[in-house]
Amino acid sequence: MNLFKEGVSDEELCQELQFAVELKSYVLGESCVNSVAVLLSRFQDNCKRLKELEAATKSQKERELEDYGRATSANTNLTPILPNLKLTSGQ
């Protein structure tokens, strides 16, 4: 098992770690196995949170790009009109 090879997905890494825990449980002892299981669970939770954050960030960037597109379009449409507007004073 090579946990540091290139291209290993989080899911593959979790599966390999889980397999290693199951395979070595009779040798390592219950306390050690429980510690590894807790670490594995935390790693899986962190991976899930990271994916949620990545999705939220992507969604936010898409909204910002849409807003920028709308602002650019409005600016393009208003630019020819602005010189024709005459500002008058309140006097």
Domain assignment present for residue 1? The answer is no
Domain assignment present for residue 87? The answer is no
Domain assignment present for residue 82? The answer is no
pLDDT, tens only, 67-78: 999 988 888 888
Domain assignment present for residue 14? The answer is yes
Domain that holds residue 37: 10-76
Domain assignment present for residue 86? The answer is no
Question: What is the Cα–Cα distance from 6 to 12, expressed in whole angstroms?
Answer: 12
Domain assignment present for residue 42? The answer is yes
Domain count, the chain: 1
Question: What is the Cα–Cα distance from 2 to 12, expressed in whole angstroms?
Answer: 11
What pTM did the predictor assign? 0.46
Question: What is the Cα–Cα distance from 49 to 57, expressed in whole angstroms?
Answer: 12
The per-residue pLDDT for 4 is 54
Question: What is the Cα–Cα distance from 89 to 91, expressed in whole angstroms?
Answer: 5
- On the question of pLDDT at 48 being above 70, the answer is yes
Domain assignment present for residue 3? The answer is no
Domain assignment present for residue 22? The answer is yes
Nearest to 10 by CA among 52, 55, 43, 49: 43
